[in-house]
Amino acid sequence: MRHLRSPFRSLPPEVAVLTAVAFSVALGFGIVAPAIPLFAKDFGVTNFAASAVISVFALVRFVSAPVAGRMVNRLGERIVLAAGIGIVGISSLLAGLSGSYVQLLVLRGIGGFGSAMFTVSSFALLLRVVAPEQRGRATGTYQTGFLLGGIAGPAFGGPLTAWSLRAPFFVYAVTLLVAGTVATVFLARTSLRAHEVAAGSADRPPTPLGAALRSSAYRAAVVNNFAVGWGVVGVRSSLVPLFVVEGLRLGASWTGAGLVVSAVVQALALVPVGRVVDTRGRRPYLRAGAAIALLAAVTMALAGGAPQFLLAMALYGAGSALLGVSTSAVVGDVIHGRGGAPVAAFQMASDAGAFIGPLVAGALVDAASFEVAFLATAAVSVLAVATTVAMPETRGAAVALTGTTGSGSR
C-alpha cells in the first residue's frame, strides 16, 4: 500500500539519524520548558527576571547563528553538530545544579549558543547528504521529528516539573547526550564525498551569503521564513492564548485545543508536502503556503467564536507545513547543498520574526485591539507573498549566483 510506506524509504539513512536527533532535542526542550520559569522563580526573583532566563536562550541563539555558520564552513557539519549538542546537554545538566539565579541565566545563555550550532549544522548536513530531488521529502521528514518531539515533550515535562524543578534539566541532558553520541558514532561513518558525487555538488565550495542573496528565490525563502517566525511561531504562541481568553471570552482550554488542531494538521501535511515539492516544484507550494498563512492571520483577525478560531489554527498548521518544506528546499537548491552562512541567515530570519512579532503585536493590542495586531501580522504575510511573485522555480534548475543575473536561475 503506497500511502503506508515509510517516509525514510529511498532517502539516505542520515536523514533518519538527523530526524531522530531532532525529535530528541525537541522532546527534551519540551520537557524542560515548563520548569525554566518556575525554577528561576525559586531563587526569589521577579517575573521579569524569570522570563529573562527564557529570552537569553533565544537571544544568544540568534546572535551566535552567524558564528555557527562560519564554524560549519571551517570545521564541517558533523563536528559542529556534535559540539553543539554537547554544549546544550552539559549546560542543561549544570543548569539543573544551579545554586543561584545568575548561574542559571548564564548556563541557559551558553545553551543558546550550543542550540545555534546544532540547528545550523544539522540543517546544513541534511541539505548536503540528500540529492536535489529528495530535498522536499528530507526536510518534511526532519521537521516532523521536531514537531512530534515538541508535542510529546510538554506531556512529560508537566508531571516531571510537578515532582521536581531540577529533574527536567537532568532528563533533557541525558536525552541530548545519548542522542548526540549515537548520531556522532553513526555519522562518523558517512561518506560525504559519496553523497556529494551523487548530488552533483562534489566540486562546489560552500556558497557565500552574498552570492545566495543575489538569488530572488533565496530572498523569498528568507522573507517567508521571517513571516513564519513572526506569525506562526511568535504571535501564535504569545498572542493566541490572550486572544482566546480576553478577545473571544472562551476558556483557556480552547487555546490547547487550537494548538492541537494546528499541530495535527501540520504533522499530517509535512511528509506529503515534501513529496509533492520534490515531484512538482518548490514555487507553487511556497506561494500556496504564503497565501494560506496570510488567510490564517485574516481569519484570526475576523474570528468571533470558536469555529473561526479553530479554522484559523488549522490554516496556520497547513501554511506552516507548506512554507517549512518549500523554503528549505529552495535554500538547498540555491546553495547546491553547501553553505553554512546562507543556512544560518535563513534560520536567523525565523528567530528574528519570532522575537519581533510578539513585541509588535503586544504593543498593538495595548494601543488598539487584537484585530489590529492580527491584521499587522497579515501585512507581514502580504510582503512574504509579494516576494514569491518574481521568484523562479529552483527544482531541477541551474541556479545562478554570480554575475548580474538577479532572477536566481538561468
For 72-97, the pLDDT digits (tens) are: 888 888 889 989 999 999 999 999 99
User: Rounded to an integer, what distance in angstroms lies between the CA atom of residue 107 and that of residue 103?
Assistant: 6
* pLDDT tens digit sequence for 251-263: 878 887 888 888 8
Question: Is residue 105 located within the same domain as residue 232?
Answer: no
Give the CATH number of the domain where residue 291 resides. Answer: 1.20.1250.20
Among 169, 199, 229, give the residue marking a domain's end. 199
Give the pLDDT of residue 406: 36
pLDDT category, 327, cuts 50, 70, 90? Answer: very high
Q: Is residue 299 part of a domain?
A: yes
Give the pLDDT of residue 205: 76
Question: Is residue 213 located within the same domain as residue 188?
Answer: no
Amino acid residing at 86: G
Q: Is residue 104 part of a domain?
A: yes
Q: Is residue 398 part of a domain?
A: no
Question: Is residue 231 located within the same domain as residue 188?
Answer: no
- Is pLDDT of 9 > 80? no
pLDDT category, 5, cuts 50, 70, 90? Answer: very low
Question: Is residue 312 located within the same domain as residue 176?
Answer: no
Question: Is residue 25 located within the same domain as residue 158?
Answer: yes
Domain that residue 275 falls in: 209-387
Sequence-distant (≥ 6) Cβ neighbours of residue 382 within 8 angstroms: 294
Q: Is residue 286 part of a domain?
A: yes
DSSP 143-209: HHHHHHHHHHHHHHHHHHHHH-SSHHHHHHHHHHHHHHHHHHHHHTT--HHHHHHHHT-TTPPPPPH
Question: Is residue 330 located within the same domain as residue 290?
Answer: yes
Residue with cell 527544482: 395
Amino acid residing at 200: G
Q: Is residue 141 part of a domain?
A: yes
Percentage of the chain beyond pLDDT 90 is 38
- Count of domains forming the chain: 2
Q: Is residue 1 part of a domain?
A: no
* Entry pTM: 0.81
Question: Is residue 104 located within the same domain as residue 226?
Answer: no
Question: Is residue 163 located within the same domain as residue 226?
Answer: no
Q: How many CB atoms lie within 10 A of CB 256?
A: 12
Among 148, 179, 199, give the residue marking a domain's end. 199
Cβ proximity of 98 and 65 under 8 Å: no
Give the pLDDT of residue 222: 96
Q: Is residue 410 part of a domain?
A: no
CA distances, 366 to each of 242, 309, 358 (Å) = 12, 21, 12
Question: Is residue 182 located within the same domain as residue 230?
Answer: no
User: Rounded to an integer, what distance in angstroms lies between the CA atom of residue 47 and that of residue 37?
Assistant: 8
Q: Is residue 220 part of a domain?
A: yes
Question: Is residue 214 located within the same domain as residue 116?
Answer: no
Question: Three cell numbers at 180?
Answer: 548526540
Among 153, 170, 199, give the residue marking a domain's end. 199
Rounded to the nearest angstrom, the gap between the alpha carbon of residue 362 and the centroid of all alpha carbons in its chain is 22
Question: Is residue 35 located within the same domain as residue 126?
Answer: yes
- Is pLDDT of 398 > 60? no
* pLDDT tens digit sequence for 54-73: 778 888 888 999 999 999 88
Cβ proximity of 17 and 186 under 8 Å: yes
Question: Is residue 239 located within the same domain as residue 380?
Answer: yes
Sequence-distant (≥ 6) Cβ neighbours of residue 66 within 8 angstroms: 341, 344, 345, 348
